[in-house]
Amino acid sequence: MSIQNPLKMSRGKQIASLICLFIMFFNRFFPPMFGLNEIGTSVLCVFFPTLFLLLFVDLVWPAIACVFAFAVSGLYTFGGAVAASFGHNILWLVIFSGMVISVLDETGVIRRIALWFISRPFARKNPWLLVTMLFLATLLIGSVSDPTALILVMTVLTKEIVQAMGGKQGDKLGTLLMIGVLMIDAVSTGITPIGHPIPIMLMEMFKGLYEVDFLKLTIFGYIIGLLLLVMLVLIMRFVFKLDLTPLKNFDPTEMYESLPPMTRRAKISVLIYGLVILFWLTPGILKYILPDVAAFVNGLSTTAPVALGVVAMCVITVDGEPIMNIQRGVTKGAPWAASFTVGIALLLGGSLNIEGAGITDALAAAGSSLGNIPPVLFVIVICIVCVVITTFVSNTLTATLIATVCISLLSSGIITGVHVGALVACICVVDSEAIAAATGSAFGAIVAGDGWVKPKEQLLYGGVLALGEAILVSTVGYFIATLII
Amino acid sequence: MKRWEKILIPVCLFLMFFNRFFPPMFGLNATGTSVIFLFVPTMVLLLTVDMIWPALAGILAFAVSGVYTFTDAVSRSLGSNIFWLVALSGMVISVLGETGVIRRVALWFISRPIVHKSPWFLVAMLFLATLVIGSVTDPTALILIMSVLTEEICTAVGQEKGSRMGMLMMVGVLIMDGISTGITPIGHPVPILVMGLFKDIIEIDFFRFTVAGYVIGLLMMGALLLAMRFLFKMDVTPLKNFNATSMYKELGPMTKRAKWSVAIYGCVVALWLLPSLLQRVLPEVAGFINDMSITAPLAAAIVAMCLIRVDGKPLMDIEKAFTKGAPWSACFIVGIALLLGGSLSNPEAGIVDALTKAGESLGVLPPLIFVIVILLLDNVLTNVSSDTLTATLMATITVALVGSGIISGINIPALSVILCVMNSSACATPPASAFSAIVAGSGWVKPKELLTYAGGFSLIEALLLATAGYFIVGWIV
């Protein structure tokens, strides 16, 4: 997720901001437009300018303006708009997850696990196995943690490997390994809802059409994640013609063994986070054995386990210090800006379905002339469009945009025959693939700013990989998802 | 973590999370019993252990006990309008604090020509500046500036740390700083929280609260000056030759940034006060502004502060405002306070009904006694624990007792004003409040002196508020 610098605002942006704000705040005086009634017109007059501001101007203040605009336009009460955005469960899920993961991050456990992976004895047999293990480590760690924290650790590790073998910044080997790690880092964020805001947000937004199960989404995610890893290795080997001979004699065992023993603090943090994950996954398993318990845990919502994790980290002390310093967790660990975008995305997504707005009906009337589009074609188009947009703008906003389009088309009956659950799973994966440009995501920006990958190389290699991913996910992935979800 | 905490925390958490397996108690139904076992342990943890995580645990426990769904519990606490009001006003006020405008206004007050007539006028103007600035801003930001200013004044007239005059002036500024937080709901969480908690019984008008608050504030200032003069026998002769004019002139012109910030915050305050004034002239406009809720003007101010740029930089750096300006721990306490307060008066819990029954045998308590008892209790509690929690406790007790008819004949708006003033006078011990801790840490006032003078005055204050204050406010609101 890219956080644009609010200190840099051109005159053009300022004028655009004023026009957008005017449309957002004064639409109650506009006549009905676009074949919609007054409510529908108001919804669109808040929806589009907000999206525009979020995409092009800033990620935080337009969110606050939007909440206000919904109240001024009379679509929600102010309290209602606040509750549906800043008071939304999912916003707090993002905040609490950020707090818990930041504690985990501080303990150095990510680097430890990554080193464990690449120091397995069989990885020494062939450099391709080593690279595969490096990617696998990224995939597995990333599937349960924050991609930005992870990419910081993984880029350092990749550099250390390349430098140990006499490589340097600018070598093709280094560039391609970085791109590979970046791609898998992005994939890992989309494959599970564990600690990842976007899949959870998408599950929430599509709830009215299809309830996606947490566990099933995770299982599908790991399968598609491994397939994408194979695709990446094959592309590296046969398309990009990566030459791994320098890595032949690389032995990471020493790096792993030189790590100090794991602290008690780290062990307890991992344990607590492990329990949180277990909590998230159990309802899917317990459904068949203990339906009452499963329903109870489900009733607590996905936010409760991680809130419990925060409480546990504050209560449990090691050497007289709690595992989490709550003041620090709230100010440094909690991703306030990111969570605001999520909150506002949920509000915007929900606004199109406001009772009496009639937007879905109007779409249905307009779309009936289109005839039936084959579902698979629809999924492919959506995935490719999603990858292109997410490369340049915030992942959360891309997901919001794609989800609202899909929900409108599906619920108005313009598109039929699509397995909604499978579609959601595919969008989750491709939406996080913001790797080809620095502006698409924080992890994309980190790799771009690192100097090992030039912007042109990032666009070329990242673009090829992202496009390949979109095609694989929307065809093979979609098919597998229909079987699992 | 101390030994007693190791026992207290598990016990409280057990009561909070496992009460669904308890049999109904205290003559209440299952929900009512659960509410009691959520309310009391959460309060105990908040008061004794930490201010944030017990709030989270409380929200979770409400969901686990089945009193609310988790989503409901979140939107009633962390998603409540008032939670965000506190967060956003902290952000706006932090911008104001950076511009140096607080010191400027304070210096303006003490450099008026009238102060040259008598040193007591200087002291009075210093207190008045604290009262007036504090009535629209954050007491912690203010005390940092006022304690430095007081120190400068004392040092300029040859007083050092340990001098009686310096100590008493510090205590006086601290007391006024506390009072100023309670007299208006402008940017002050506690009055807003109290108004929110009393909402089910009566809607308190923002504007009238403010007017009554200023009257009470001035009254208390008078009482403080008299106490300083005749009770504490402060000797102000060293101040005779003090002249603040040069200090004020040194400031130079106000920056453009400061002017914009003040103008925007001024608009927010105006929007808060306007609905009550416009009610008679333009009822529709007043209704519209009222419907927007008191959080909306702040939201608008933040948008404006992000958009308006001076020298290429916006007035507010939103990232910084979020991490540094927003008072998250205060927000969490306010959030949980709303959740806890609301749960007690939830009709399903039947607590108010049970109280009504229990109270029938008690007969009706005289209102005046009740007001005095509540204020004295509040005075003691607020001086040893969090202001917000004390206010929650007092307000919920009052709501329960008044709602059940055990106490009648109370003027709730009047009570809420004096309760807020009393509640924010948390100056007698260092842990009572952030502003008190700052003064205690300044080296000018020893903890024992704080207890004697600030504690002594707070007793006078409690009695004055409960009697004269209650009646005067009763006329206004």
Digitized pLDDT (tens) for each residue of chain B, 477 residues in all: 677 888 899 999 999 999 888 888 887 888 888 888 998 899 888 878 887 889 899 999 998 888 888 888 888 888 888 888 888 988 998 888 888 888 889 999 998 888 888 899 999 999 999 999 999 988 888 888 898 899 889 988 888 888 999 999 999 999 999 999 999 998 888 898 898 888 878 888 888 899 999 999 999 999 999 999 999 999 998 888 888 888 888 888 888 999 999 999 999 988 888 887 787 788 888 888 777 778 888 999 999 999 888 888 889 988 888 888 888 877 888 888 888 888 877 778 777 777 777 766 666 678 888 889 889 989 988 887 778 888 888 888 888 888 777 778 888 899 999 999 999 998 888 878 888 888 888 889 988 898 899 999 999 999 999 989 999 998 887
More confident residue, A473 or B326: A473
**Which residues make beta-bridge pairs with A317?**
A322
**DSSP H or E run through B299:** helix B296-307
Look up residue B229 and give its DSSP letter.
I
Q: Look up residue A198 and give its two tokens.
A: 């976007």
Taking alpha carbons only, the member of B385, B271, B268 closest to residue B337 is: B385
pLDDT computed for residue A168 by the predictor:
84
Choose from A133-142, A145-154, B136-145 the range with maximum mean pLDDT. A133-142
pLDDT computed for residue B43 by the predictor:
84
- Count interface pairs A-B at CB distance under 8 A: 139
pLDDT computed for residue B321 by the predictor:
87
Name which of A17, A88, A304 is nearest B60 (Cβ-Cβ).
A304
Tell me whether strands B309-310 and B313-314 are parallel, antiparallel or unpaired. Answer: antiparallel
pLDDT computed for residue A369 by the predictor:
60
The span from the CA of A331 to the CA of A192, in Å, is 26
pLDDT computed for residue B464 by the predictor:
92
Q: Which residue of A has its CA nearest to B326?
A: A331
pLDDT computed for residue A395 by the predictor:
87
Contact A191, A138 (CB under 8 A): no
pLDDT computed for residue B70 by the predictor:
87
Does B306 reach chain A within 8 Å, measured CB to CB? yes
Cα–Cα distances (Å) from B14 to A275, B21, B25, B68, B159, in that order, read: 19, 11, 17, 18, 55
Is the pLDDT confidence value at A3 over 70? no
pLDDT computed for residue A1 by the predictor:
37
Q: Which residue of B has its CA nearest to A78?
A: B292
Partners of A316 on chain B (C-beta within 8 Å) are: none
pLDDT computed for residue A2 by the predictor:
39
Residue B241 in 3-state DSSP?
helix
Does B2 reach chain A within 8 Å, measured CB to CB? no
pLDDT computed for residue B1 by the predictor:
65
Torsion angle (degrees, nearest 10) of CA B211, B213, B214, B215:
90
**Mean pLDDT score across all residues of chain A:** 87
Does A54 reach chain B within 8 Å, measured CB to CB? no
Position A237 confidence tier, pLDDT thresholds 50, 70, 90: very high
Please name the residues in contact with A271: beta carbons below 8 A apart, sequence gap of 6 or more: none
Least-confidence region, from A181-185, A247-251, B60-64, B190-194: A247-251
- Cβ within 8 Å, pair B302-A61: yes
Taking alpha carbons only, the member of B206, B199, B209 closest to residue B396 is: B199
**How many C-beta atoms lie closer than 10 Å to residue B108's C-beta?**
14
Partners of A71 on chain B (C-beta within 8 Å) are: 291-293, 296
The span from the CA of A314 to the CA of A306, in Å, is 12
pLDDT computed for residue B360 by the predictor:
67
- Cβ within 8 Å, pair B319-A320: no
More confident residue, A187 or A326: A187
Does A207 reach chain B within 8 Å, measured CB to CB? no
Partners of B69 on chain A (C-beta within 8 Å) are: 299, 301
Dihedrals φ, ψ of A317, to 5°? -115, 150
Name which of B81, B307, B318 is nearest A82 (Cβ-Cβ).
B81
First-to-last alpha carbon distance for chain A, in angstroms, is 28
Average the pLDDT over A169-192 and give the result: 93
Place of tokens 């009566």: B202
% of chain A exceeding 70 in pLDDT: 97
Is the pLDDT confidence value at A7 over 50? no
The span from the CA of A224 to the CA of A426, in Å, is 9
Is the pLDDT confidence value at A5 over 60? no
Does B471 reach chain A within 8 Å, measured CB to CB? no
The span from the CA of B317 to the CA of B335, in Å, is 25
Is the pLDDT confidence value at A118 over 50? yes
Contact A156, A174 (CB under 8 A): no
pLDDT computed for residue A4 by the predictor:
44
Contact A422, A483 (CB under 8 A): no
List all residues of chain A from 365 to 384 with a beta carbon under 8 Å from chain B.
none
Contact A224, A429 (CB under 8 A): yes
Does B425 reach chain A within 8 Å, measured CB to CB? no
Does A337 reach chain B within 8 Å, measured CB to CB? yes
- Cβ within 8 Å, pair A89-B322: no
Is the pLDDT confidence value at A121 over 90? no
- Cβ within 8 Å, pair A7-B306: no
Q: Rounded to two decimals, what is the model's pTM? A: 0.82
Position A8 confidence tier, pLDDT thresholds 50, 70, 90: low
List all residues of chain A from 89 to 128 with a beta carbon under 8 Å from chain B.
89, 92, 96
Is the pLDDT confidence value at A87 over 90? no
- Cβ within 8 Å, pair A337-B322: yes
Q: Which residue of A has its CA nearest to B57?
A: A311
By the 10 Å C-beta count (0-12 exposed, 13-18 middle, 19+ buried), B249 is classed as exposed
Place of tokens 């012109």: B253
Is the pLDDT confidence value at A63 over 60? yes
The span from the CA of B345 to the CA of B355, in Å, is 11
Is the pLDDT confidence value at A139 over 70? yes
More confident residue, B135 or A195: B135
List all residues of chain A from 272 to 311 with a beta carbon under 8 Å from chain B.
299-301, 303-304, 307-308, 310-311
Does A78 reach chain B within 8 Å, measured CB to CB? yes
Q: How far is A366 from chain B (nearest CA, A)?
A: 35
